[in-house]
Chain A
Amino acid sequence: MSTCEQFDVVIVGAGISGAIMAQQLGAKGKKVLILEAGTGTEDRFWNSESEHEGEKVKHPGYESYMDTFFTALAKIPNAPFPNNPNAPQPLVTDLAPIRDNQPLTDGYFVQKGPLPFSSTYTRSEGGTTLHWLGTCLRMLPEDFDINTRFGQGLDWPIDYDELQKWYEMAEKNIGVSANADEQNYHQINNSSVHIPFENQYNYPMEKIPQSYLDHHMEEGLRGMTVSFDDQDYPVDVVSTPQARNGMPRGDYRPVGAVGNPDVGQRCAGNSNCVPICPIQAKYNALKTLEQARKTGNVEIRNQCVVYDIEVDPATNNISRLLYKQYQHSGSPDHVCKTVTGKIVVLAAHAVENAKLLLASGIANSSDQVGRNLMDHPTMLTWGLMPDKIGAFRGPGSTSGIPSLRGGAFRKNRAAFRIEIGNWGWSWPEGAPINTVPDLIDQKNMFGKQLKDTIQSIYPRMFRFGFLVEQLPDSNNRVTIDPDYRDQLGNYRPVINYNVTDYTRAGMAAAKQVSDQIFQRLGVEGYTEYHPSDPGYLTYQGKGYTYNGAGHLVGTHIMGSDSKTSVVNKEQRSWDHPNLYLVGCGNMPTISTSNPTLTMAALTYWAADNVLKALDQA
C-alpha cells in the first residue's frame, strides 16, 4: 500500500471528458494522472522511429490512422483505429438481427436484444472524438423537464439557464463554428424550439458554409409545414453548429492539428469527418490533451486498463484504482499496478464507466448503474434529387431541420431532428465504392456508358438522417457476466436493448415527413428497409430500420434523489464522496441534440466542482 502512487486527481479515460477535466485541473496546478485503456499517439502527427538498445522502435502518429483508414476495405467509423484485443471496441460490422433470443457474441458487445444496440465508440487516446462528426447542438430548454411537461422520461436536476454559461465555455474551448442569431432558432415559427442565448454572445467562429444541397433544400422547402395532432409545424433548414474550424471571429485563433499545427486551421473539405479528419480541422480530444500536457501537471498513461476500484469502508471514499498495464496490443502480457487520487474521475465512456462500476461493485446503491442506456435510433431515407446537387462534398452534414425538435406532440411520441447528409448514399448504400461494382458486374457497363452513368447519377444522391429521441428505460442496460471476458480477463459489456413504441411512433412520423419532403422536391425515392437489417423493426404493420448514432447516453444518470440516480447535480457519486462520474452517462434523457456539447458543458461544470472540492479539503 505504501508504494502506491498518489495524485490529486486520477482520471480514467483520455477521451473528451477526461481531457477537459485534466486540462482544467492541470491549469490550476493540480497533479493529474489519466489512465487510458487504449493505445495512443502522444502529440505525434507523423509516424516516427527511434532506436532503443540497438532496436528500432516505432512510434505511430496520427498519420498511422490515415494509413489504416485508406487501406481498410470496410470504411466503418472505427476503421482507422487499432484493433486492440487488450481494449476491444464495438464495431458496426459486428451487428446482425438477433433471432430466437440467441445473443450476438462475435463482437466486443454481448448483445441480448431483443434488438441490437447499434452504436460504437473508440477506445484509443482521444476517444470517440477521433471519429465523431462534430455536431455541437445545445439542448432545448424544454428538454430538461420532459416529465413535468409531457409526462414522459425524466426531468434533469438542472435547467437550461444553469447550464448556459458552461455551454459557452465548451463552445469556445472546443472551437465551434456557428452564428448565434441562427442557433437561437428564433426565426423558426415554433416557440417550443427557441433557445435563449446571452445577449452579445456569439460562437468563436463564423458558421461553416452550408452545402449547395442545403441551399437547394432551403429554397425548395421554404414555407412548408407538416401537421401533427391538427397542429402545423414549420419545416425549416438551419445550419448546424460544428466543432470544425471556420473563419474566426475577433481574436480567436483556430487550433490546427496536434503535432502539425499549420494544417487544419480551416476545414478543407476532405469529406471524411467520420471516420477521420486527415488534418484535424474537426475538433478531437487530442487537442485538449495536448493543452493538458502543456500545463506540466498532467500525465497521460496509455495502455493502462483500470479493472477494479476499491473503497475505504470507513469513509466510503475511493481508496485506490487497480489497473493492468500492457506493452503491446498483440499480447495479453501485462503488469498489475495501483494508484490513488484524492479525487477519482471516471471518464471512460458511458458503457465503460458502467462496466467498471459494476465490476468493482461500487456507486450502485440506487441499482441504476448500467440502466437507462439510450441512443438516437437513426432512420435514414434516401433518393435522387431531380438535378445535380454535388453530393460527396464537404463536411458530413452542414445543416439540418431542427424545427420539429420540440412541441406538444412529445406527449405521444418521440421528437426528432433531421440531419441533411452531404455524402450522397455513402451511409445507406456504401456509395460509391460498394455500388459501382454492380454497374460493372451486373449492369454490364464500361467505358463511356459507365462514366456517364456515374457522372449523371451520383451527384444527385442525397440522404436524410432522422435522429429520433429515445426515453430512459431501466431495462435497456449494460451488465457484466463472468462468462464473457476479453483477452486481459476484463469484462465485456452485456447489453439488453429494445426500442419502445414511443420511439417507433417517432420513426413513423419521421417517415411521413420524409415522404412529404420527397414529394415536394420531386425526389426519386430509393429508401428500403429489410427484415435482414440489424435494426429492423415494425410499428403499426410497417417496417423501419434504425442505425446507431454513436450517441451512448444514460448509464449512470444524474438526479436529485439518491435512490433513483447515480450522481447528483454536481456529478458526484451519491455513494462515494471523492468519486465523480463524467460523460454522456450522466444525462438522464437524450432528447434531440447530439450529446457531446452538452456532455462537454457538464464536464466543465464538473471540473469546477472538483476544483472546489480539492480546495476545500
Chain B
Amino acid sequence: MNRLSDFYRLGAALTDYEIVQLEGTGVGEEYYDVLTSLVSGNILDELFDDYNNLDKTCSGHVPDEQIRSSILANPKLGPVARNIIKLWYLSIWYQLPENWRQKYGIPNQTKNKYQDVQFIVSRNAYIQGLVWQATGSHPMGAKQPGYGTWSAAPGNQPHPVNFQ
C-alpha cells in the first residue's frame, strides 16, 4: 500500500476534507516529507495501519469514538495525529510534546532539511491552510477574492444574477 495515499486517507478522516480537496492543495507531498523526516517510519506505519484497519472493519465509515480511542488517545500516535491536523489546517509544524520526544523522538540533526521545532512549512503551503476555507475566507495575503467581495454576505455560493 502506498504510504502517501494512506497519508491522504488519514488526513481526510482527521480534517473532514475530501481527499481530492487535500490533493487540490498541491502541498500534501510537502507535508508528507516533513512528517516522514520528523517521525520515525515504524510509528507512521503503525498510525496508518491502525487507521486502515479501522476503515476496513467499519467499511469506510469509522466512528469518531474509534479514531479517538485508538489514535488520538494513544500516547504514541495521538501527538502525531494532532500534528497532522495542524499541518493541514495551519501549514505549521509544531514541536512534538516533550515527553513524546523523549520516548519516540528522532534526535535533531543539523543536516536534515527539517527540525522538530515550530515552523511554517513553506510559502506555498501557508496559503493552502484549510483553516482559511473553513473560516469562509482566504489566506491573508493570497488567493485574492477580488474588489468589493467583502461587501457581500458571507458564504461560498455566487450571487444569483438577474437577467432576462
Contact = CB atoms under 8 A, between A and B. Distances in A.
Interface of A: 66-67, 69-73, 75, 209-212, 215, 246, 266-272, 276, 278-279, 388-395, 398, 422-424, 426, 432-433, 436-437, 440-441, 444, 446-451, 454-455, 458-459
Given A389-B154, A447-B64, A447-B67, A67 B123 contact: yes
A354 to B, nearest CB: 33
B94 A437 contact: yes
Interface stretch (B9-17, B35-43, B100-108): B9-17
B88 to A, nearest CB: 10
Nearest to A457: B135
A433 to B, nearest CB: 6
Given A212-B154, A433-B92, A71 B122 contact: yes
A215 B151 contact: yes
Contact of A394 (B17, B68, B82, B150): B150
A89 B153 CA distance: 40
B141 A448 contact: no
7 contacts: A209-B150, A211-B150, A211-B151, A270-B141, A392-B135, A458-B134, A459-B137
A130 to B, nearest CB: 13
Which secondary structure dominates where chain A touches chain B? loop
B151 A270 contact: no
Interface string B120-164: 101100110101101111101110111111111110000000000
Contacts of B144: 268-270, 278-279
B134 A451 contact: yes
Contact of A271 (B119, B137, B153): B137
A434 to B, nearest CB: 9
Nearest to B149: A269
Contacts of B76: none
B64 A271 contact: no
A210 B137 CA distance: 17
A198 to B, nearest CB: 28
A212 B153 contact: yes
Interface string B63-106: 01001100010000000011001100110101000000000000
Interface string B8-52: 000001111100000000000000000000000000000000000
A443 B16 CA distance: 17
A450 to B, nearest CB: 7
Contacts of A398: 150
B8 to A, nearest CB: 15
Given A391-B137, A451-B15, 6 more contacts: A71-B126, A75-B140, A390-B136, A444-B72, A447-B15, A448-B64
Contacts of B110: none
A440 B82 contact: yes
Contact of A422 (B118, B122, B150): B150
Contacts of B136: 388, 390, 392, 455, 458-459
Given A67-B123, A270-B141, A209 B148 contact: yes
B140 A269 contact: no
A50 to B, nearest CB: 23
Interface residues of B, number: 46
A389 to B, nearest CB: 7
A52 to B, nearest CB: 27
B154 A459 contact: yes
Contacts of A209: 147-148, 150-151
Interface of B: 13-17, 64, 67-68, 72, 81-82, 85-86, 89-90, 92, 94, 118-120, 122-123, 126-127, 129, 131-132, 134-138, 140-142, 144-154
Nearest to A389: B154
The 6 closest A-B pairs by CB, nearest first: A394-B150, A390-B154, A272-B141, A268-B144, A392-B137, A70-B123
Which residue among B67, B81, B122, B136 has the maximum number of chain A CB atoms within 10 Å of its CB?
B136
A268 B146 contact: yes
Most B CB atoms within 10 A — which of A70, A215, A278, A422? Answer: A70
Contacts of B140: 75, 270-272, 392, 423, 426
Contacts of B148: 209, 269
A441 B118 CA distance: 15
A426 to B, nearest CB: 8
Given A271-B137, A436-B131, A455-B134, A390 B150 contact: yes
A1 B140 CA distance: 52
B150 A395 contact: yes
A268 B145 contact: yes
A404 to B, nearest CB: 25
Contacts of B94: 437
Nearest to A461: B135
A393 B150 contact: yes
B92 A446 contact: no
A70 B154 contact: no
Contacts of A424: 135
A271 B138 contact: yes
A215 B64 CA distance: 40
B64 A449 contact: yes
Nearest to B154: A390
Contacts of B122: 70-71
Contacts of A268: 144-147
A276 B86 CA distance: 25
A49 B121 CA distance: 25
Central interface residue in B13, B89, B94, by most chain A CB within 10 Å: B89
A215 B150 CA distance: 11
Contact of A266 (B137, B138, B147, B152): B147
A71 B122 CA distance: 6
Most B CB within 10 A of own CB, among A272, A392, A426: A392
Contact of B135 (A211, A394, A446, A459): A459
A450 B85 contact: yes
A58 to B, nearest CB: 17
Nearest to A279: B144
